[in-house]
Amino acid sequence: MRNNFRSLALSAALIAPAAAHANGDVAWDILAGLTSEVGPRMPGSEAEARARVWAEARLKALGFSSVVVEPFTIRGYVRGRDEASLVAPIPFRLAVTALGYSGDTPDKGIAADVVYFPTLDALKAAPDGSLAGKIAFIDHAMKRNQDGSGYGPYGQVRRAGPAIASGKGAVGVVIRSIGTDSHRNPHTGGTTFPEGVKPIPAGAVSNPDADLIARIAASGKPIRIALTLTGKTTEGLPSGNVIGDLPGRDPTLPPILLGCHLDSWDLGTGAIDDAAGCAIVTAAALKVQEGGQPLRTIRVLWAGSEELGGFGGKAYAQKHGEPHALAMESDFGAGRVWRVNTNFWTSNKPLADRIATALAPMGIVRGTGPVEGGTDVEPMIEKQKLAVVDLNQDGTYYFDLHHTPDDTLDKVDPADLAQNVAAWTAVLKIVANEAGALTPAP
Amino acid sequence: MRNNFRSLALSAALIAPAAAHANGDVAWDILAGLTSEVGPRMPGSEAEARARVWAEARLKALGFSSVVVEPFTIRGYVRGRDEASLVAPIPFRLAVTALGYSGDTPDKGIAADVVYFPTLDALKAAPDGSLAGKIAFIDHAMKRNQDGSGYGPYGQVRRAGPAIASGKGAVGVVIRSIGTDSHRNPHTGGTTFPEGVKPIPAGAVSNPDADLIARIAASGKPIRIALTLTGKTTEGLPSGNVIGDLPGRDPTLPPILLGCHLDSWDLGTGAIDDAAGCAIVTAAALKVQEGGQPLRTIRVLWAGSEELGGFGGKAYAQKHGEPHALAMESDFGAGRVWRVNTNFWTSNKPLADRIATALAPMGIVRGTGPVEGGTDVEPMIEKQKLAVVDLNQDGTYYFDLHHTPDDTLDKVDPADLAQNVAAWTAVLKIVANEAGALTPAP
């Protein structure tokens, strides 16, 4: 309600870019460039291909070496026309988005009576066949928290709900957006129909729309929805990773791998998800180099097609057999870093202590939890059992914007972005200059 | 960014209605009913007609007498398909809405190169004919303030900008939304093409979209936009006012007239504009009566078709010759009342003092400014030179939501709504029990 995005928008959009150039603000330039010069970058799209061209040129211009594009193909989702309306008890045009890998409706859409489920468990409990000819509506509002831990459980509504509804005979499914805002912007994201389950049209409506549906359901009036989602799941679309190195003084030492993803959903311009991540890791790597060439090579991986299933991270791990030393990723927006977690073995305790000490003046606390890595580096972490440093960002407001039309440049606070770069720079300076083995706990 | 609408939405949508019924919360019930049982109520539409039926029944159920619908016809605007995209330098689907009385494009739309104007004055300064074949883009970002005084000057971009662009040969016009938020929700509203000026397609894009266009314009790259706005201006649409009285002890005394409007724009559900206003004035009138029948009759006017030019207020003044005592209106959302202005002549100074004294404990300050009345009562104020009490609401965030898809029930804070009802009740109790003449300053 009392947001100040508008003033941020003004400062960010009208002032910061000029200042950024003057100050050599690499992070802001990457963020503004990807969002304004490329725009949305859907996995497998022409736009993602333009983003790779942009990224390759930008990394070269910034002084990275061995800049390469490593292509792969994906099973993609090509968005069509997304429309939904209440037909009864009142006519109302809903703010809807198709989920990735949604089944498709005919061009003229479908209309069906709605069965309302307050939770995913309620849907699971519905008898087999009970949804024949119906559209299932799954409510189940996400709760806001700092560490993003709600995305796992609440996200199941989106990831698994449509297939469950299909299994019970539904002809379509509409969910409350997996998000914590209350704007008329729906949250997209991928869903999954396992082998043998018929893909059905699957959309998400904005939270205010879901509130309205919930109120009508509570009143006991029958609900009917018309749904038109004409997008298509499409095999063999081109994608790729863009990779660049800042060579270390000792090229025989395994590199530090920094992940982010170049692709984005198509509703906004992918500012917080994940142009900000690529901006942060790349700017931090360059800042370390500016302070003196580090011992180890720092590699940035701007992965492709993360949003539809982490294709880029998998392709990287499959292609790369050379040893890596440690992996980190930035893919949780541009909120301030508040905690650090590492998975070092006791042999690296002094290193972990130095990292915590370097971050403490920024108010970043030391966590005791497990590390997560990130979708784009996880396959390589798994494959080579890598050491990991997680810089956890404040995600209290991340799911207000995540996968929505509102994921735009003005939502990034330049000061928060700079704090991320500073935290990453502090960590990278330590790990990239560590001569000894970087060993994860078993 | 840091909004708490989500938690409000939960409390408002899921808790308050039940509580409201239990507590007899008339204001919340009207607000929730109009937004959830009727929905958007575009002037001249089938939905506005349903709203009149709903309003008549509700006012009767609440105990109002002489409840009548007074029909009239309007020159309306029937929305069509609203679409806009950047074509160059990058493809990007814009969040756009047609303005009321926009000219229409063919079904397949138009595409044209864009001439960027940072301000309305810059557009005015463009040479005649210089926009031939072009789409004019008018930037000119609205600034946030408490009293809403920016809507007059900034609103000129929307009200007058399209006609100015048309006069210089433009084939279409796109403006930055007249609004202070930074969400991907455009702000609609009426525009005007004076006699002799050709109506051209006229749309508004959301602030983040306008930021993007401004950044591209600053980069010097040519911009091209595709625009499809198929809505039509239509004569003779049916509308009407709904009026009800709470009779006073002395029916020979002129009544107190309370205005609000029943219609709304169609993108949201018209919660803050202006279901909240009708909820506030009606609940306050009933509260006064609950405390003992007042001396004067209190009349509520739920006006029709305010949004396209104040048709309801004009129709009321035209039809009604009987004397009125005083007029008030609530049509500025559901923010808290912070100031009271009156236009009483010195003969009523004791009355004005009592009003100020009654409001002071609520922290409502006494203003010295002129009164405004409100669109729906203004014609009657003019016609009969009426006394007016303005209860000014905090409008700091009003233009975040005004005329957008986001004007939905969850945006109203029940505590703020209740504060409005309390302030109105305090004032009404005084003016409706005043036996002497209510005389405005000349």
Closest CB from B1, B14, B212 relative to A214? B14
- Run of H or E including B266: none
Alpha-carbon distance B99 to A247, whole Å? 56
Answer for the pair A167, A388: CB distance below 8 angstroms, yes or no. Answer: no
| φ/ψ bin of B324: left (φ > 0), alpha (ψ from -120 to 50), beta (otherwise) | beta
Nearest to B9 among A37, A208, A408 (CB): A208
Separation between Cα atoms, residue A41 and residue A263, nearest integer Å: 5
Contacts of B410 in chain A (CB under 8 A): 182, 207-208, 211
Residue of A181, A226, A188 whose CA lies nearest to A207: A181
pLDDT reported for residue A24: 64
Who contacts B363 (Cβ-Cβ below 8 Å, separation ≥6)?
Answer: B338
DSSP state of B36: I
Q: What is the pLDDT of residue B141?
A: 85
| H or E segment to which residue B138 belongs | strand B135-138
CB distance A13–B37 less than 8 Å?
A: no
Instruction: Give the pLDDT mean for B344-366.
Output: 97
Q: Which residues contact B409 (CB under 8 A, 6 or more apart)?
A: A208, A211, A212, A215, B12, B13, B31, B32, B35, B36, B269, B271
pTM of the model: 0.93
Apex B199 CA angle, B197 and B201, nearest 5? 145
In total, chain B counts a number of residues equal to: 442
pLDDT of residue B1: 32
B47 has a chain A CB within 8 A of its CB: yes
Give yes or no for B141 touching A (CB within 8 A): yes
Tell me if B208 and A408 make a contact (CB, 8 A cut-off). Answer: yes
Residues of B in contact with A50 (CB under 8 A): 90
User: Three-state SS string across chain A, please?
Assistant: CCCCHHHHHHHHHHHHHHHHHHHCCHHHHHHHHHHHHHCCCCCCCHHHHHHHHHHHHHHHHCCCEEEEEEEEEEEEEECCCEEEEEEECCCEEECEEECECCECCCCCCEEEEEEEECCHHHHHHCCCCCCCCCEEEECCCCCCCCCCCCHHHHHHHHHHHHHHHHHCCCCEEEEECCCCCCCCCCCCCECCCCCCCCCCEEEEECHHHHHHHHHHHHHCCCCEEEEEECCEEEEEEEEEEEEEEECCCCCCCCCEEEEEECCCCCCCCCHHHHHHHHHHHHHHHHHHHHCCCCCCCEEEEEECCCCCCCHHHHHHHHHCCCCCCEEEECCECECCEEEEEECECHHHHHHHHHHHHHHHHHCCEECCCCCCCCCCCHHHHHHHCCEEEEEEECCCCHHHHCCCCCCCHHHCCHHHHHHHHHHHHHHHHHHCCCCCCCCECC
Q: What is the pLDDT of residue A9?
A: 38
How far, CA to CA in Å, does A105 sit from each of A47, A188, A267, A297?
A: 25, 17, 20, 50
Distance from CA of A347 to the nearest CA of B (A): 42
Confirm if A379 and A316 have CB atoms less than 8 A apart.
yes
Write down the pLDDT at residue B204.
98
Rounded to the nearest angstrom, the minimum Cα separation between B184 and chain A is 6
Is residue B408 within 8 angstroms of chain A, CB to CB? Answer: yes
A–B interface: beta-carbon pairs under 8 A: 163
Within a 13 Å sphere around the CA of B40, how many CA atoms are in the beta-carbon half?
A: 22
Among residues A5, A39, A86, the alpha carbon closest in space to that of B1 is found at A5
- Closest residue in chain A to residue B213, using alpha carbons only: A36
Could B211 and A410 be called an inter-chain contact, meaning their C-beta atoms sit closer than 8 Å? yes
**Hey, how many other C-beta atoms are within 10 angstroms of the C-beta on B194?**
9
Verify whether the Cβ–Cβ distance A208 to B144 is below 8 Å: no
Could you give the residue ranges of the DSSP H alpha helices within B193-310? 207-219, 276-290
pLDDT band at B150 (very low <50, low <70, confident <90, very high): confident
Contact between A328 and A377 (Cβ < 8 Å): yes
d(CA B408, CA A93): 13
What per-residue confidence (pLDDT) applies to B24?
Answer: 64
Query: Which chain B residues are within 8 Å of A91, Cβ to Cβ?
Result: 39, 47
Burial of A106 (0-12, 13-18, 19+ CB in 10 A): exposed
Q: What's the pLDDT at A140?
A: 86
Express each pLDDT in B248-286 by its tens digit. 999 999 999 999 999 999 999 999 999 999 999 999 999
Number of neighbouring beta carbons within 10 Å of residue A2: 11
For residue B15, pLDDT over 70 is answered with: no
Structure-block tokens of residue B93: 């689907």
Which of A183, A216, A218 is opposite residue B406, by nearest beta carbon? Answer: A183
Please name the residues between 264 and 293 in chain B that touch chain A, using a CB distance below 8 Å.
267-269
Residue B20's identity, in one-letter code, is A
Residue B369 banded pLDDT, cuts 50, 70, 90: confident
Contact B90 A211 (CB under 8 A): no
- Distance, in Å, from the CA atom of A189 to the CA atom of A401, rounded to the nearest integer, reads 12
Q: What tens digit of pLDDT does each residue of B27-54 get?
A: 999 999 999 999 999 999 999 999 999 9
Token pair listed for A253:
């030492």
ipTM comes to: 0.91
Chain A contact for B108 (CB, 8 A cutoff): no
- Which residues, 6 or more positions from B121, have their beta carbon under 8 angstroms from its beta carbon? none
Q: For the CA atoms of chain B, what is the radius of gyration? A: 22
The reported pLDDT for the residue numbered A148 is 86
3-state secondary structure of B334: strand
Task: Name the helix (H) or strand (E) containing B255.
Answer: none
Residue of B92, B227, B222, B84 lying closest to A50 (CA atoms)? B92
pLDDT digits (tens, 9 = 90+) for B284-303: 999 999 999 999 999 999 99
pLDDT score recorded for residue A141: 85
B303 SS3 class: strand
B269 contacts on A by Cβ (under 8 Å) = 92, 212
Ranges of residues in chain A whose predicted pLDDT is under 70? 1-24
Q: Please give the Cα distance from B206 to A188 (Å, whole number).
A: 20
Q: Report the largest interatomic distance among the alpha carbons of chain A, rounded to a whole angstrom.
A: 71
At residue B179, does pLDDT exceed 90? yes
As given in the structure block, the two tokens for residue A77 are 């989702």
Evaluate whether A146 touches A395 at the Cβ level (below 8 Å): yes
d(CA A240, CA A302): 9
Query: What are the backbone dihedrals phi and psi of residue B415, each rounded to the nearest 5 degrees, phi first?
Result: -70, -40
Residue B324 scores a pLDDT above 60: yes
Q: Which domains does chain B have, with CATH numbers?
A: 5-76+235-431 (3.40.630.10), 80-230 (3.50.30.30)
Give the residues across from B113 on adjacent strands: B224
Establish if B181 touches chain A: CB-CB under 8 angstroms: yes
Going by C-alpha positions, the residue among B237, B261, B380, B243 that lies closest to residue B321 is: B380
Contacts of A82 (CB under 8 A, 6+ apart): A96, A97, A98, A203, A228, A229, A231
Here the tokens at position A415 are 């000061």
Helix, strand, or coil (residue B273): helix
Q: For residue A2, what are the CA distances in angstroms to A14, A194, A305, B10, B277?
A: 22, 42, 35, 17, 21
